[in-house]
Chains A and B, each alone.
Chain A
Amino acid sequence: MSTPATDYVIETVALSKRYGRKLALDHLDLRIPRGRIHAIVGANGAGKSTLFRVLLGFLPPTVGQARILGRDSQRLRPEDRARIGFVNEEHTLPGWMKVAAVTAMQRHQYPRWNQHAYDEVLGHYHVLPEQKVAQLSRGERAGLNLALALAQGPELLVLDEPTLGLDVVAKRAFLESLMYSNAAEQCTVIYCSHQMEEIERIADNLIILERGQLKNMSAPEEFCARVTHWVADIPFKGPDPATVPGLLQLQRLDGLHHYLVLDQDEDFAEFLRASGARSIQSMPVSLDRAVNGFLTKNHAAPAQPQRQH
C-alpha cells in the first residue's frame, strides 16, 4: 500500500483534543505545505505538544482528523515513522549507551541512513564516539539528537523546543548545525520554540497557536508588519482600552501611552488624535515583541474580586 501523495506534510481538519474539562486543541484546521522551515509558536498550554502527540499517533483526537505525510496519524506504520524525524526538548537518548552504539543502532534501524548528514551535524560538537550519552552536556546531547534525526533521511523533521534549557553557545551551535545542514534543506522542518530570535533566524513560515486554535500562518515578516507600536502623548486618562481597536498591549510610561496594536493603519493615528493625543509616533516592532504582544493579549489572569461597598 503506497502512501497517498499530498502537498501537505501536516493536515488537520477540525482537530480537537479534550483533557477533562479543558480543550487542548480546538477545531484546529492546519495545513502545512511540503518544504521549508515552519515555526510553531504559542504560549505554554497552547496545544503544541498535544498536536505533535496526536500527529505521531501517541494520542487519539477527541474529534477531527490529523494526517501526517498523507497518512492518518492514528494508523502510522513503521515505514511511515522512518520518514518522520522527531527531536524533543529532553533529548531522551539512552544515557547508558555510548555514542557509537546509539549511532550504530540508529544506522541499522533506518534504511535511508545518511552518514554524511550525521557527520556534518555532529562536526559542530566535540562529541567522541566512546563517550556515554549520560556524559554529554545538554547541548552535545541536543546536537547528537539532531544528527541522528537528520541522518535518518526524514521527509519531515519535527523539532519540539529543541533548544530548551541550552545556553547561548549551545543554542547557537544547534541552530547553525540545523541551518547549514544539507539534510535539513531536503526535508520539511517543523520547529516549535519559544525563542523568537531563533524563529526569526530560521523560519520561513510562522504558525501561531493559541488555546488550541490557529491564530496566524504567514511569513514572520508579514506577521511583524501586522503589529505596530504607537506612542501617544495623551493628557489625563486616555481612551478606554476596550474601545482601542486591535489593542494587544497598553503601557503608560513617563506620561506617554504605548499602544501595541494589530492590523491598524493610519486610521489608528486619527483615533488617537480623536482621543486627545497631542503628539503621536508609530514604529515597527521586532518579531519577539509582536509575538509576545499577540500571545499575552488573552493571557489568563485571576478574575478581579468584586469590591464590597
Chain B
Amino acid sequence: MWDMFKAEMQRFRIWAIAYAVLQLVILGFMTRVVDLAQQPRLVYEVLAGVYAVTGLLLGLYQMGGYRKPNTWMNLLHRPIPHGKLAAVLVGAGALQLAVAIVLPLWLLAGWQEFMTARVVDHRHLLLGVSAWLIAVCAYLAGAYAMLANRRYGYSGIALLSWLVFSQATGLGAIAVQLITLAMLAGMVWVAFKPDLGAAPHTLPRTFFTAVPLQLAMWLALVMAGFGIEFLWIAQGSHPNNAPVPAAGGEKESENAEGKDLMVMGLRGSRDPQAPLWREQAQISEVFSFGPGLRATPVRNELVNIVPMEFDDEQHRIRWVFSHDRMRLEGYSLVDYRSVGELGVEGDAPFPEPVMPGPENSLIGTTRVYQYDSDQKRVMPRLRLPAGERITGYDRVGDDLALLSDRAVYFYDGRDLAASDGMLTPRQRLAIPGKVGDLYRADAIELLDGYLVSFLFSRSAHNAEGALPYQQMTRIDDQGNAMPIMRRDLKSGFPALWRYQNWFPAPVIYELQRAARRLFAGYQITDDTARPPVPRQVAVIAGVLMLLSLLGAVWWTRKTDLSMSARIAWIVACGVLSLPALMSLRLIHPRREVLQPQRVAQPALA
C-alpha cells in the first residue's frame, strides 16, 4: 500500500511543487503590496474558487487516467480491497493539494506574523485549512465525476454548492466543509468498484449515491426556473426590468425617492395630519437609514465582511482588529513598525469583534464605539439592550439612528461630539415586522418626533419572506409610537413563481434551507416572517408528490430492485417528490433483459 501511495505521490509531485512555488510567488508579491489577511470577502471567495478548480481538475485528471477500461482492470485486479486502493489514491491526492495549497499559505502567514507588524490570527491559519478542505472537496467531486456512472457522476459537483451557499462561519464553516468532505469521500468509496456502471444496491451505497443526486436534481429544477426567468427578463415584462414599475407594486416602492415613498405611504390614511405630512414630505429632507449592516463580525470568522482595519491619518497609524487579542493592533504607516495595542477605554479587550464604520466609529454586534484620534482612545458610545443585534447605523439629520433586529433607537447626534460617554437613546421605535424583510427605512423630522416609513419587501419575491407591505409610523419626542397606515403592496410575482423552488420538492427545500443555516447562528437575512404556503401551491406540491410516488411504483417494476428497495424508493419518491423520481430513473435504469428477437444480421458474405 505504501508503495502505491509513494507511486501516486511521485506521479504529481512536480505539479504540486510547481503549483506551490507559483502560489508562493504570486501571493508573496501580493502580500508585499496589500495585507492578505485583511481583504474583503470577495478576495477570499475568488481564491477559494481557484483552489476548488485546482482540486476539481486534479480529481478529473487523476481518476480519468485510471478510468479507461484496461487501466481500471489493471488497477483493481490485485489482492487489495478496493476501499484501501481508493484511500491510497485519494490520500495521495489530498496530500498533494496540501503541499500545493496549504504549505505556501502557512509560509506566507508565518512570514507575515514574524517578519511584519501585521496581524495574523489563528483564524488565518484555519483559513489555510479551509482552503485545503475546499480543494479536497472539489477534488473528490472531480474523482466522483470520473468514476461514477455518467448518468449521475456530476452530483458531487452539485454537492459543492453547499460550500458556496452555506452561511456558517469560523469553525462552523470548517465543520460544514468536513461534513461535505465526508459525504464526498463516501461517494468516491461507493463509486470505486470494478463495475463502474453498476447501480448501488445496499443501503449505504444507495444513500451516498441518491442523496447528492437528489440535491442535484433539485438544483436542476432551480436552474430551469432561472432559465425561465432569463427569458422573462429578455421578454421585458419581468417586474425588475419593466420600463415603468407597476403602480402600487413592491418594485415601485423599492425604487421610489424617499419623499414619494412617504407620500405613497400616507395615501389613504385617515389620520387628520396625513395631508400635512404629505405636504411636509415633499419639502423635507428624507433620511434613509435602512438596514445597511446585513451582518456584523463574528469572533474567529474565517473571512472578513470588510477589512478589519482603519487608518488614523492624524498619527499615520493603521489599526487592525485582532480576533486573538480582541484588541486593535497598530503599526505605523511611515515605517511599518508596531505601535502597540488599543483596547476599550485603554487596554480592555473588546467583548466582540468590531469593524470600521462611519465617522471614526467601530461597530460590533451589540455596541458602537468611537475612536478618538487626539487621545488615541476607543470609547463605547452606543449599546443595544441585551438580546438585540445591530443591523444599521446612520445619521438622521443631526441625530443618530441605530437599527437593531427589533427596533430603531434615535440618539441626539450632538451628544456624540460633545461627550465621550455612553449615550442614552431618546426614543425607541419597534420595527413593525421582521428585520430580514425590511428593504428600507426612511424618516422625516417632524416638529415633535419623526414620521418613519418601513418597507418590507426584501424577500417577497420568493418563499422566504413576508408579502410586501409598507408601514408608516409616527413617534413623538416622548417616545410614543403610533401606527399611521399599513399599505399592502402588489407583488409582481405570482404565487406559483414565488414558490417555484418549493413546490417541486417541499421536503428537500426545507432540508437545503436547514443545511445552509447549519452552524450559521443568527442571520439577519433569515429573520423573516414567512407567510403560510398558499393553498393552490400546497395542492400542486401534493399532486407532484403523489405523481412521483405513482411514477416510482411504475418505474421500479421495470428495474431489478428488490421488493424492500422498491418500497423504500416509492416512499422516498412520495416524500421527496420530483427530484427523488428523477434520481430513481437515473440510478436504476430499466432492467437489462435478453430480448427474444436479435438484431437483424446483414446478408452473408
Contact = CB atoms under 8 A, between A and B. Distances in A.
B539 interface: no
A13 interface: no
Interface string A85-117: 010111011101100011011001111000000
B605 A301 contact: yes
B347 to A, nearest CB: 58
A299 B605 contact: yes
Which one of A53, A58, A102, A111 has the highest number of Cβ atoms from chain B below 10 Å of its Cβ?
Answer: A58
A132 B3 CA distance: 15
A300 B195 contact: no
Given A23-B598, A303-B603, A57 B195 contact: yes
B10 interface: yes
B7 interface: yes
Interface stretch (A2-10, A14-22, A168-176, A223-231): A14-22
Interface in A249-295: none
Interface in B555-605: 592-595, 598-599, 601-605
A235 to B, nearest CB: 25
A76 to B, nearest CB: 8
Nearest to A112: B79
Given A84-B77, A86-B73, A301-B604, A58 B594 contact: no
Given A62-B593, A62-B594, A97-B10, A109 B77 contact: no
A23 B194 contact: no
Given A58-B194, A299-B605, A94 B11 contact: yes
A215 interface: no
Contacts of B71: 90, 92
Given A56-B194, A62-B593, A111-B79, A93 B603 contact: no
A302 B601 CA distance: 9
Contact of B7 (A18, A105, A303): A105
A207 B372 CA distance: 95
A205 to B, nearest CB: 24
A250 B78 CA distance: 48
Nearest to A110: B79
B592 A62 contact: yes
A58 B592 contact: no
B605 A101 contact: no
A81 B599 contact: no
- Chain B's interface size range is 20 to 34
Contacts of B76: 58
A300 B601 contact: yes
Interface of B is mostly: loop
Most buried by A among B3, B6, B603: B3
Contact of B78 (A93, A101, A109): A109
Majority-rule SS of A interface residues: loop
B70 A88 contact: yes
Interface residues of A, number: 44
B70 A78 contact: no
A43 to B, nearest CB: 12
Contacts of A93: 74
A299 B603 CA distance: 9
A53 B194 CA distance: 9
A63 interface: yes
Contacts of B68: 92
B81 interface: yes
Most A CB contacts (10 A, CB to CB) among B68, B78, B598, B599 go to B78
The list of the 4 closest CB pairs from A to B, nearest first, reads: A82-B79, A105-B3, A78-B79, A92-B71
Given A89-B70, A109-B78, 18 more contacts: A21-B599, A23-B598, A23-B599, A58-B194, A78-B79, A78-B81, A82-B78, A82-B79, A88-B70, A90-B71, A92-B71, A101-B3, A101-B6, A104-B3, A105-B7, A110-B78, A300-B601, A300-B605
22 contacts: A18-B593, A18-B594, A22-B599, A23-B594, A53-B69, A58-B73, A78-B81, A82-B79, A86-B74, A86-B77, A90-B70, A90-B71, A92-B68, A92-B70, A94-B7, A96-B11, A101-B6, A105-B4, A109-B78, A109-B79, A299-B604, A301-B603
